[in-house]
Structure formats: C-alpha cells, structure tokens
Amino acid sequence: MKPLIDNFPDIMKSALLTIELTVLSILIGLVIGFIFALMRISRNKLLFYFSYYYSFVFRGTPLFVQIFIIYFGLAQLEFIRESFLWIVLKKPYWCAIIAFALNTGAYTSEIFRSGFEKIDKNLIEAANSLGLNKLKIFLTITLPIGIKRSIPAYGNEMILMLKGTSLASTVTLLDLTGTAKYIISTHFNPVEVFVFVGSIYLFFTFLIHTFVKYLERKFRYY
C-alpha cells in the first residue's frame, strides 16, 4: 500500500486527466457523430458514401492504430510540420483527443443513424397527411424519437470511450493507466496498483451508468 499512498496525488491528477480526455472526446465525438448520422440518412450519394466509409474505417481499425497514426504518422509528413496544423498535432494531448473523438464519432454516427431509421413509418405518413414538410417532420418526430431510442446504446459507447482513454499512455500522457505503469515500473507491485486504478475506472463507469439511466427515465419513449 505504501507506493499507492506515496503516489496518491499523482494518481488523482491522472484521474482528472482521464476525466478530461473522456469528456472532451465524447462531446466532440457527439457533434461529429450527429453530423455524420445526418449524412448517412441523406439522399445525397456523395454525403452518404463519405459518411459510410468514415464510419467503416474508424470502426474497422483498432483505436491503438489510429492514435499511433495521428501522433507518429502525421509527424512524418513535412507539409504537416510546416503548416499551422503542427501547432496542434505536435502535442500528444490534442492528438489523443482527435483520435478518440474521431473513433467515438464513428460509433456514435451509427447509433444515431439506427435510431433515426427505426422510426415507425406510420408516424411519418401521419405527419405527411397533416401537410408537414420534411424539415418539420425531422425536427418534431425523427430527431426527438431517434435520440431517445439511442440513449441506451450511446451510454455503452460512453463507457467504451472511458476505457479507450487508457491508450493515451501510448503517446506519453500520464492518464490513470500511464501513471499505474510508472508506479509499477518503480515499485514492482502490479496487482495492488492495477486493482486500485481499476476500481477508479469502475467508479467512473458507475457514474456514467447512473447518468444514462437517469436520461432513460427522463426521456423514456413509449
């Protein structure tokens, strides 16, 4: 227990970084996912296929590979290093955020798309019979019902993103996992360190789970 007590401030600091990475990635990914979900249900073939292949690539490759390509791969391109993008891409923090946001955005787009496409056609036909235009139908029927139906699945994605932030340590960030590895490398007691850090992840998961259950009760769709 002594290594945990001695390094407790560092563990708490790394826990805050994990929360920060998770929240920012989820918020940015939520916006990305919503936009690409709209593109997927669009009748414009260019928008449809662009969103389809974005989702296919980021869901079909490991997050570990994605963060490595963004942090290490893009740094090999001279025009990137000479552009304004290098201000952001030279920092591991923002590379991690970009990778996490793009990854969760792909999954989020599929969650929202599924919610939008499963709207009862009878509701749409009833709205058409009342003379509502497509925009009005989307804003009053498709959007609210689709989002409500997406809440449970999106809750799972939030938890997966929390656990995915553990890969931030691969680009030198001292999140919870990175700090745990550092403590283990200096004190050689992996079991109690990972049990303690794992309990922190479990606590964060409990908070997300509780929040999602609250949203499900508040916005329940019958």
Place of tokens 């139908």: 137
Residue 11 and residue 176 in contact, taking contact as beta carbons nearer than 8 Å: yes
User: Can you give the pLDDT of all 222 residues of the chain as single tens digits?
Assistant: 777 777 888 999 999 999 999 999 999 999 999 999 999 998 899 999 999 999 999 999 999 999 999 999 998 988 988 889 899 999 999 999 999 999 999 999 999 999 998 888 888 888 888 888 888 888 888 888 899 889 999 999 999 999 999 999 999 898 999 999 988 888 878 888 899 999 999 999 999 999 999 998 887 754
pLDDT at 52: 95
Nearest one of 124, 120, 152, 156 to 140, comparing CA atoms: 124
pLDDT at 13: 94
Phi-psi region of 172 (alpha: psi -120 to 50; beta: other; left: phi over 0): left
Alpha carbons 29 and 222: distance in angstroms, whole number: 28
Amino acid at 86: W
pLDDT at 130: 82
Alpha carbons 185 and 202: distance in angstroms, whole number: 23
Alpha carbons 86 and 217: distance in angstroms, whole number: 45
Architecture in CATH of 18-173: Orthogonal Bundle (1.10)
**Residue 56 in tokens:** 């296919």
Nearest one of 148, 116, 149, 152 to 134, comparing CA atoms: 116
